[in-house]
Amino acid sequence: MRRRVLEWTDPMLTFSAAASASGLDYLQCVASGAIAPPPMAVLMNLQLESVEKGRVVFSAIPGEEHYNPHGSVHGGFAATLFDTALGCAVHSTLDKGYRYTTLELHVNFVRAITRETGRLRCEAFVLHGGKRIATAEAKLVDDGDRLYGHATTLCLISARPTPPG
């Protein structure tokens, strides 16, 4: 039996921090460690490596806790990494008071991922950032720049609700 213990920060603190800053400022604070990442990033062990307006790079190391019954990493691991990077690329373009939600995620897998794959990097770029709709694309590579997948997203942009409390 194996065990993994997780600790995370109250997600409402992250929600409040995101609501009080532009997308780029918020993500830069997460990347620097000034703001804790959201619990999902902790659960999936996602690291925000770099962020600039319209571009982010996340990394993650797949482990056996991500395995499916076929002896490889579940596709949901890569899909989560893609959805996070793509959404954050869009988020980096948003002014204070706005948020995004994923409307569509299209993922193409080109190579199996195992724990032996090592660190994966997901680089995402905004292709179109409109007032209501944004699109982005990403690629997933290992440290040798071998491609494991590529993806696109369509996001809806809306005004952010006032934080609770």
- Give the integer Cα–Cα distance in Å for 60 and 113: 12
Q: What is the pLDDT of residue 92?
A: 98
Helix (H), strand (E), coil (C) string for 46-88? CEEEEEECCEEEEEECCCHHHECCCCCECHHHHHHHHHHHHHH
Domain for residue 1, yes or no?
no
In a domain? residue 29: yes
Residue 3 lies in a domain: no
Does residue 165 belong to any structural domain of this protein? no
The CATH number of whichever domain residue 84 belongs to comes to 3.10.129.10
Half-sphere exposure of 105 (CA within 13 A, CB side): 18
Amino acid identity for residue 3 in this structure: R
81-112 pLDDT, tens per residue?
A: 999 999 999 999 999 999 999 999 999 999 99
Q: Is 6 helix (H, G, I), strand (E, B) or coil?
A: coil
Q: What is the pLDDT of residues 36-52, one digit of tens each?
A: 999 999 999 999 999 99
What local confidence, expressed as pLDDT, does residue 42 receive?
92
Return left, alpha or beta for 97; rule: phi > 0 is left, psi -120 to 50 is alpha, else beta: left
5 occurs within a structural domain? no
* Mean pLDDT (whole number) for 7-30: 91
Number of domains within the chain = 1
Identify any residues that bridge with 73 across adjacent strands, giving them in sequence order: 67
Average pLDDT, the chain: 94
In a domain, 107, yes or no: yes
Evaluate whether residue 164 is within a structural domain.
no
Crossing angle of helices 11-19 and 23-32, in 10° steps, is 140
**Nearest residue to 112 via CA among 136, 145, 78:** 78
The answer to whether the CB of 115 falls within 8 A of the CB of 62 is yes
Its domain, for residue 114, covers 11-159
Determine, yes or no, domain membership for 123: yes
